[in-house]
Structure 1
Amino acid sequence: MASHTIKKVLNSSVVLVEDERGVERVLLGKGIGYGRKPGESVPADAPDRVFVELADADHHTLVDLLSAIPPGYLEITRETVGFAAEQGIALDPHIYLALTDHLHFAVARARQGLLVVNRFAWEMRALYPRHWAVGLRTVGLLRERLDAELPEDEAANIAFHLVNAEAGPAAVDPLRVVGLINAITQIVTHTTTARFDDDSLHRARFISHLQYFAERFFTGHLLTSDDDFLYQQLGERYPRAVAAAERVGSYIEQEYGDPLPKEEIAYLALHVARAAPE
C-alpha cells in the first residue's frame, strides 16, 4: 500500500491521513503520531496499523472526539478487537472509533458516580456469550489500567458495540432482540407462575427459545404452518400457557403491527408450560 500524507495528528496513536486521490482516512497505530507533523508521509504497511475510512461528514465528529481522548483508551480498544478475533468475531474497522469513544465516556461517567445499569445484561450474556466474554475482559483492562470502578454490567454495553460492528451480512439489531425478549419474559412472569432466577435452567432454556424466535421474527422467517393441531392440543392441556402466549401475540401485534401465526404461539406456549407447569 502506498504511503499517505498526514493532515492532522490527533494523538500519539491516531493520525488523520490523505492518499494521493485526496481520500481521507484515520490511521491507527501505537506511536504512529509521536513526533509527527502535518505534511509528512507515513508508510501504511506496518502489520499493527489499521485504516478507518471516512465515508461521510458524521465521521469527522468522531475524529474530533478522538483528538480529545487519551491514547490509552484506543490501546484498550485495540486489545478488545484482538480479544474478539480470538473468539472468532470479525469487526468492522469503525469499532475503533465508536468503542474508544464509548469507553472514554463510560469511565468519565463512573468517575462522576453516574453508573448506568444495563437492563438487558443477563440477556446479552445468555445470547452473545463470546461478545460478553470479550466485554468482560475489556472491563478488567479499564479497572486495571485506569482504576475505573465499572460494574460487570458494563460488559453488556461493550458487547452491544461488538455485535453491532460485527463484519459480514447485516445482523439483527441486538438491542431489538433483547428488548423483545425482555418484554416477553415480563409478560410471562406477570401472567403465569413462571419465576426465572438468573442462573436457572428454566430461564436459560426459555431465553434460548426466545432468541431463535426473535431472530425469526425480525428476519421475516416465522413458522407459518396451517396445521393448528398443536395449538388446539395445548389449549386443552395448558390453557394458562396458551393464554400467556396469546398475550405475547397481542403485545407483538400492537407494538410491531405483525400478528403471530398460530404455530409460533403454540411453540411459545409449549415453552411457557415447561417453565410454569399448571
Structure 2
Amino acid sequence: MSDHSKNSLTVLGLGDMGSALIRSWLAVGCTVTAWSRSARPAPEGTIVAATAADAVTANSLVVVCLLDDASVRATLDGIDLTGRDIVNLTTSTPAEARALSDWIAARGGRFVDGGIMAVPSMIGVADSGAYVFYSGSTELHETHAETLAIPAAVTYVGADPGFAALYDIALLSGMWGMFAGAAHAFALIAPEDISPVDFAPLLVGYQQAMAGYAYGTAAQLASGDYTEGVESNLAMMVTTNDTLLRTAAEQGVSPELLTPFMDLMRRRVAEGGGNESNTGVVDLLRR
C-alpha cells in the first residue's frame, strides 16, 4: 500500500461531495486544508482556512467542489494561482470547462476538469464502482494521478478540458432517459393489483438486457450503415409504438415521456429510414 502521509492538498467546498472527498484523503494519511463558502463543519482532522486565498496558498494541488461554474470563478477571482494545480470537480458544461481552463491559465495555474460518476456515499469505498472522468493538462494529471485515484477510480479522457464534462453529461443524459422509461412503466401498472416491489426486478432485468443495444448503435454510427445487423427495423417499431400509446390511454397514463422520441422515430421513417434501426434518430437530434 502506498504511503500518502506526506501528500498535502486543498479542497474548496464542504458540501456532501466535498466532505466525502476530504474524508477519503484523510483516511489514508493525507493532509487536507479546506475552505467553505458557508459555515459548514469540516471532517475531523481537516485544517480549516479562514479564507479561500489562505486555502489556495497552503498547497499546490487545489481541488474545487462547489455549486457551479460561477461560484468557482467568484471563489478564485483575485487569488494568485501561479504554480497552482486546479482540479475542478464542480459540475459544468464542456464550454464552461474550456473557458475556465483558459481563465486559470491566464492567472498562472494548470487546470484539469473532472466529472464525478458517483454519489457521496460511494466515495472512498472499495469496489463501489465510483470513478471520475478527468480531462485537461496531461502534466497535471500525471503529477497527481495517485492522489486523485484515492477517492475513486480515475478515467482520463484527454487533453481537451471540456471532455470530462461532456462524458459526464452524456452519461447522465442516458441515465435520465432510463429513469423516464422506468417512471412510465411504473405508472402503467399503478392502477392494477400488481406490486411495484415485485415488478421492479423484472424492469431492471429487462433494462439490463436491452442496454447492450448501445454497442450496435455505436457500430452503426462508426460505419455509417444504419441497416447493419437490424432485426426489428424502425418501421416495425413505429407500428408497435401505437400499441404502447393505446395501452397508456387505457391505463390513464400520460404518454408525454415517450412521445418526443416516438415523434423522432416517425420522422425518420417518413424520410426513408424505415429499414434502419433507430440509430438515425441521432442524426435528427444533431440537426
**Common topology (TM > 0.5):** no
- Give the structure with the higher percent strand: 2
The TM-score with structure 1 as length reference comes to 0.32
Give 1 or 2: higher helix fraction.
1
